[in-house]
Amino acid sequence: MYAIEDAVKYNRREQIPQIVECLCSDDELLRFLAIGGLQRMTGQDLGYKFDDPDPLRLAAYRRWRQWTIDEHLAPPEQAYSSTMFPPSRPRPQW
């Protein structure tokens, strides 16, 4: 939670992908802080509401993931750590 506050305070946009991952937390407070931080840093919420049912949060989480890729903050192949909302594309098997 302090890391989110720090990222927002100092506008550390490179930390946005990690904040996006917090949108998947089981902790409602952490999700609330994460979306608030993302809104302050980007001016957008992409339809994410911290207390929405899982399917709605999943759709909004995926929009945030795609946003990080489109903004060149995360590479397309980045492995996201969320277990609640796994990446929409399977990782390649090497």
- What pLDDT is recorded for position 55? 92
Question: Who contacts 74 (Cβ-Cβ below 8 Å, separation ≥6)?
Answer: 17, 65, 68
From residue 62, how far is each of 2, 6, 9, 10, 80 by CA, in Å?
Answer: 24, 24, 25, 25, 11
The mean pLDDT of 87-91, rounded to a whole number, is: 50
CA 14 to centroid of chain Cα atoms: 12
**Which pTM was predicted?**
0.80
CA neighbor of 82 nearest in space, from 4, 38, 17: 17
d(CA 17, CA 49): 17
Mind listing the pLDDT tens digit for each residue in 37-70?
Answer: 999 999 999 999 999 999 999 999 999 999 999 9
